[in-house]
Structure 1
Amino acid sequence: MTETVTISTLDGDASFSAYVARPQGTPKAAIIVIQEIFGVNPGIRGKCDKWAAEGYLAVAPDLFFRIKPGIELDPDVEAELNEAFDYFGRYNPDDGVKDIEATIHWIRQQAGVPKVGCVGYCLGGRLAYMTATRTDIDASVGYYGVMIDQMLGEIHAIARPLMLHIPTADHFVGPEAQAAMHAALDDHPRVTLHDYEGLDHGFATESGTRRDEQGAQLADGRTAAFFAEHLA
């Protein structure tokens, strides 16, 4: 079952919508699916539906609501890709983490699911990292997160398990940024990094030209095992 719910911001001054996919029966845990720069589009909703089929409550908050509610863009359409980059340039990720924290609260208090993880892509991968450093979420996964190398000063605050998927040919996260992430995080006891040789940004998208089927299945299998372990 799927529905759209309304979640209040932490300060209570605004609210935003979230796509919710519910499993049959009692959820074994909840997973927040954090959007790319393309909004809560069919690909993000599809990821929620997959998690619900695996027994999780899946929630995808509309994190661009302060700019424009209900954004849904296709990265394979050039005009929509350019529109998404404009939104990315205007977006404040500090607000995003607060909205993810509000979503965690909604899940635990309103939906009644105590164990919560998150998985994010692109911008969402960065937000998954920030969620791991700034909230009490139980487990976090980031796919091709951008600008994480600029936030490595926060690694001391990672208290719960974090997994990052890093495609080595990511044209948005270059070799120097990847090296900085490895140097800072390889020895961290709560962090796991996986490299994907020769793959590019967006390789685990649900559909479209960016998807690499073998790489996506490998990364998604690792993510599923990670959540099975840490959200049990």
Structure 2
Amino acid sequence: MGSFIHLTAADGHRLAAWQDGPADATHGLVVVQEIFGVNDHMRHVCAAFAAAGYGVVAPALFDRAERGVELGYTPDDIARGRDLRAKVPDAGVVADIEAAAAAIPGRKLGIVGYCWGGTVAWWGATRTNRFAAAIGWYGGGIAASRTEAPHCPVQLHFGEKDASIPLADVDAIRAAQPGVEIFVYPGAQHGFGCDERASYSAPDANVALARTLTFLTRHLA
């Protein structure tokens, strides 16, 4: 059973983080939130990776703007999440995922993120040297930083019908990063991996999770 811990980033910022998984796990995973905080869904995501044997830490990235944020998936929640995300500096986000990585000492680490967190996972590959594998699920900001050089293997997942990530963006990422493993799920929408959203697609989520776990096993072994 997971619980909240507290971390201190390199710039002195203190933040909460959800920790889960066996204490003797040989591999660790930083799980990065959507724009809805480390909410019930993200804790369930952490539990799934913990059940697969990973030591997991999910940093509360919104703590730089407002502490204790846990949102749902209504239009009002989406608007509030976007507002909070705009208040969190990118450099602070990177410092916070590095703090989460430091909380999993002595283990080979991966990073996986969803929505905003998918972009942050990409930054974990390109703006840090802490991770041996990075996976992003429907990260809308990846295209804007697609020319950054990753320092570890990367796997990305996108929905074909994602209204916020056009396929032209996916094609641009693929062209800029031919070494990155990219999957597009036919008919899938944004957030297809979240079972609390209307866009949830269990078949696509299950395939993407299986691919994620296989990728982590391959690169963290």
TM range (shorter): over 0.9
Structure-1 separation of matches of 2:121 and 2:168:
21
Quote the residue 2:82 is aligned against.
85
Q: Which of 143, 155, 173 is 1:163 aligned to?
A: 155
Match of 1:48 among 46, 49, 60: 46
Write the distance in 1 (CA, Å) between the matches of 2:64 and 2:151. 29
In 2: Cα distance, 1:31 partner to 1:52 partner: 9
Q: In structure 2, what is the equivalent of residue 67 of structure 1?
A: 65
Q: CA deviation at 1:117?
A: 0.6
Letter aligned with residue 146 of structure 1:
G
Partner of 2:136: 142
Matching of residues 69-218 of structure 1 within 5 Å: 69-75=67-73, 77-108=74-105, 113-136=106-129, 137-155=131-149, 158-185=150-177, 187-188=178-179, 191-218=180-207
SS at match of 1:204: coil
Structure 1 residue runs without a partner (length 5+):
none
- Residue 58 of structure 1 aligns to a residue whose secondary structure is strand
Percent identity between matched residues is: 34
- Which residue number corresponds to residue 22 of structure 1? 21
Matched residues in 1 for 2:102 and 2:6: separation? 13
Equivalent residue, structure 2, for 1:231: 220
* 8 Å Cα contact 2:147/2:176 also seen in 1: no
User: d(CA) in 2 for partners of 1:152 and 1:49?
Assistant: 30
Q: Helix, strand or coil: the match of 2:208?
A: helix
Gaps of at least 5 residues in structure 2 are: none
* Length, aligned pairs only: 220
1:90 CA displacement: 2.4
Q: Which amino acid aligns with 2:160?
A: T
Measured in 2, the distance between the counterparts of 1:207 and 1:54 equals: 22
Contact persistence 1:46–1:206 (CA under 8 A): no
Cα deviation code 1:45-88 (max 9, x no counterpart): 0011111111111111100101101110011x222222112112
List structure 1 runs of 4+ shifted beyond 3 angstroms: none
Match for 2:79: what amino acid?
N
- Measure, in 1, the Cα distance between the counterparts of 2:128 and 2:89: 17
**1:95-135 deviation per Cα after TM superposition (whole angstroms, max 9, x unaligned):** 11111012112212xxxx42111110010000000110111
Question: Cα offset for 1:17?
Answer: 0.8
Residues 144 and 164, structure 1, Cα contact 8 Å, conserved in 2? yes
TM-score normalised by length of structure 2: 0.95
Q: Is the 8 A contact 1:168 1:175 kept in 2?
A: yes
RMSD of Structure 2 on Structure 1 (CA): 1.3
**1:42: how far off?**
0.4
